[in-house]
Chains A and B, each alone.
Chain A
Amino acid sequence: QQQVKQSPQSLIVQKGGISIINCAYENTAFDYFPWYQQFPGKGPALLIAIRPDVSEKKEGRFTISFNKSAKQFSLHIMDSQPGDSATYFCAASRRAGNMLTFGGGTRLMVKP
């Protein structure tokens, strides 16, 4: 059972544009929602994370929007750059332990 659904699977954006990736979860016990960025040949690296007590969190060009009632959250990358081209994963976990449930991933390509 896929508990975190991510869309789209792939995304092409022009340099300077906004990249938007969406995730939906099923388990209401999840209370931590991180986003990871992965480059080829590397492990995932934490980008930004949010807890359900806030609706939005911004760090530089990266913003997470969180809708608890809809059980959805999204990543917005403002002013997208070619260096942002990577695979992005949303994830969710419960407070007890470090077991992350990942979405299927979105391959982002930012065209110069």
Chain B
Amino acid sequence: KAGVTQTPRYLIKTRGQQVTLSCSPISGHRSVSWYQQTPGQGLQFLFEYFSETQRNKGNFPGRFSGRQFSNSRSEMNVSTLELGDSALYLCASSLLSGDTDTQYFGPGTRLTVL
């Protein structure tokens, strides 16, 4: 079974631009979560989607948004990029939502903001 895939793997943008990252979960998984990983702040939860609905949201500004499609694929969007948005963005999928179902992480998208 294929794992979680994320595209693109690397991205370079400039301040003020916007960016869209994509995540394809493991086949059959319906929950997709997004995390930001930086050297300073570590791994931080962004949001979770289940059956096209946002279930949980972390403490990030409104510039960070996401959505999930009917096939469970998810995208996250960051508008008006800032230098501090440079990070590894990780997507994780799980079969269900709740009851602490195991989350499987993708390799991440490395975003660099210049």
Contacts and interface: CB of A to CB of B under 8 A. Distances in A.
A41 B106 CA distance: 10
B104 interface: yes
B99 A99 contact: no
A3 B105 CA distance: 22
B84 to A, nearest CB: 18
A101 interface: yes
Interface in B49-103: 55-56, 58, 90, 92, 94, 97-103
A95 interface: yes
A43 B56 contact: no
Nearest to B101: A98
Interface in A86-111: 89, 91, 93, 95-105
B96 to A, nearest CB: 9
B43 to A, nearest CB: 4
B26 to A, nearest CB: 12
Given A31-B100, A32-B100, A105-B42, A98 B107 contact: no
Interface of A: 31-32, 34, 36, 41-46, 49, 51, 89, 91, 93, 95-105
15 contacts: A31-B100, A42-B107, A43-B4, A44-B105, A45-B104, A46-B103, A46-B104, A89-B42, A95-B100, A98-B31, A98-B92, A98-B103, A99-B48, A102-B35, A102-B44
